[in-house]
C-alpha cells in the first residue's frame, strides 16, 4: 500500500541526501497539520538519544506523542506557514533556533 511506498521514498531520499538526520511528512487536514502515519524516517547512522527515544518509542513511559498542529505553531507549523504559497524550493531553516523559540 501507499504507506510502504511512503516509507521507501523517505528512506531513499534521506539516505541519498548526505547529512539529513531525519525527515517528517505532514499533511494539511481540515486546517490542521497532521504527521502522516509512517511519515517519519531517521538515518540509523545518527545514534539514538534519550530524547529521540521519547519521540520514537511509543512504549516509552515518557513518550511524547505527535500532536495535530495549527499552521504557524510548532516547528512543522512554522515551516508550513512560512513556505505556503512560496514558489522557491529548497528554503533552509535554522531548526535549532526554531526549537529554542519560546513561542513554539
- DSSP one-letter code for 95: H
What whole-number percentage of the chain has pLDDT above 70? 81
Residue of 31, 41, 40, 36 whose CA lies nearest to 81:
31
pLDDT tens digits, one per residue of 17-31: 777 888 888 888 888
Alpha carbon distance 81, 72 (integer Å): 5
Q: Are residues 98 and 75 in contact, defined by beta-carbon separation less than 8 angstroms?
A: yes
| Residue 103's pLDDT band (cuts 50, 70, 90) | low
pTM over 0.85? The answer is no
User: Dihedral sign, CA of 83, 14, 41, 43?
Assistant: negative
Residue of 64, 60, 61 whose CA lies nearest to 40:
64
Amino acid at each position: 500500500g501507499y504507506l510502504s511506498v511512503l516509507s521507501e521514498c523517505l528512506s531513499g531520499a534521506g539516505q541519498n541526501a548526505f547529512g539529513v538526520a531525519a525527515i517528517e511528512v505532514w499533511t494539511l487536514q481540515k486546517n490542521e497539520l497532521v504527521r502522516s502515519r509512517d511519515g517519519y524516517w531517521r538515518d540509523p547512522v545518527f545514534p539514538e538519544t534519550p530524547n529521540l527515544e521519547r519521540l520514537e518509542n511509543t512504549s516509552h513511559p515518557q513518550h511524547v506523542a505527535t500532536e495535530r498542529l495549527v499552521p504557524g505553531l510548532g516547528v512543522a507549523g512554522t515551516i508550513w506557514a512560512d513556505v505556503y504559497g512560496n514558489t522557491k524550493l529548497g528554503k533552509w531553516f535554522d531548526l535549532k533556533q526554531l526549537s529554542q523559540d519560546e513561542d513554539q
